[in-house]
Amino acid sequence: MVRIAQLTDLHLSVADRGRVFGSDVWGNLERVLAHVQTLGVDRLVLTGDIANSGGRSVYERLRPLLSPFGDRMLLLPGNHDRRAALRAVFPSRWPATANRLGFEAELGGCTLLGLDSVHEGRTRGELGQDQLHWLAGRLAATTRPVVLFLHHPPVRVRCWFVDRDLLRDRDQLAALLRPRPPLAIFTGHVHQAHELEFAGAPVFTTPAVAYQYGLHSWVPLPKSLRPALRILELDGGLVRSEVVRL
Ligand SMILES: [Fe+2]
Ligand SMILES: [Fe+2]
Residues 98-137 have pLDDT tens digits of 899 999 999 999 999 999 999 988 999 999 999 999 999 9
Q: Report the distance separating Cα 88 and Cα 101, nearest Å.
A: 12
Average pLDDT across the chain, whole number? 95
Q: Is residue 19 helix, strand or coil?
A: strand
pLDDT value at residue 154: 97
| Cα 9 to ligand 1 centroid, rounded to whole Å | 4
Q: Could you say which ligand is closest to the alpha carbon of residue 151?
A: 2
Band of pLDDT at residue 41, cut at 50, 70 and 90: very high
Q: What is the pLDDT of residue 204?
A: 98
Q: Tell me, what's the pLDDT at 96?
A: 82
Contact assessment for residue 189 and residue 151, using Cβ atoms and an 8 Å cutoff: yes
Share of the chain above pLDDT 70, in %: 100
More confident position, 184 or 236: 184
User: pLDDT (tens digit, 9 = 90+) per residue, 179-211?
Assistant: 999 999 999 999 999 999 999 999 999 999 999
How many angstroms does the Cα of residue 152 sit away from the middle of ligand 2?
7
pLDDT of 16 > 80? The answer is no
- The domain of 187 spans 2-245
- Ligand closest in space to the Cα of 80: 2
Query: Structurally, how many domains does the chain consist of?
Result: 1
Which residues are placed with Cβ below 5 angstroms of ligand 2, an ion?
49, 78-79, 189
CATH number at residue 177: 3.60.21.10
* Percent over 90 (pLDDT), the chain: 89
Please tell me the number of the ligand nearest to residue 7's CA: 1
Q: Where are the beta strands (DSSP E) in 179-246?
A: 184-187, 194-198, 201-205, 228-235, 238-245
Per-residue pLDDT band at 18 (split at 50, 70, 90) = confident
pLDDT band of residue 10 (cuts 50, 70, 90) is very high
Q: Which ligand is nearest to the CA of 210?
A: 1
In this prediction, residue 67 carries a pLDDT of 94
Nearest ligand to the C-alpha atom of residue 8? 1
Q: What is the 195 CA–ligand 1 centroid distance (Å)? A: 18
Rounded CA gap, 54 and 83, in Å? 8
Give 109 Cα–ligand 1 centroid separation in angstroms. Answer: 30
- pLDDT of 2 reads 96
Q: Is the pLDDT of residue 55 over 90?
A: no
Instruction: For residue 170, give the nearest of 195, 140, 198, 135 by alpha carbon.
Output: 198
Distance between CA atoms of residues 211 and 85, nearest Å: 23
Q: What angle in degrees, to the nearest 10, is found between the helix axes of 56-66 and 25-39? A: 30
Report how far residue 57's alpha carbon sits from residue 135's, in angstroms, rounded to the nearest whole number: 32
Mean pLDDT of 57-64: 96
CB burial string 55-69: b at 16+ within 10 A, e below: beebbebbeeebeeb
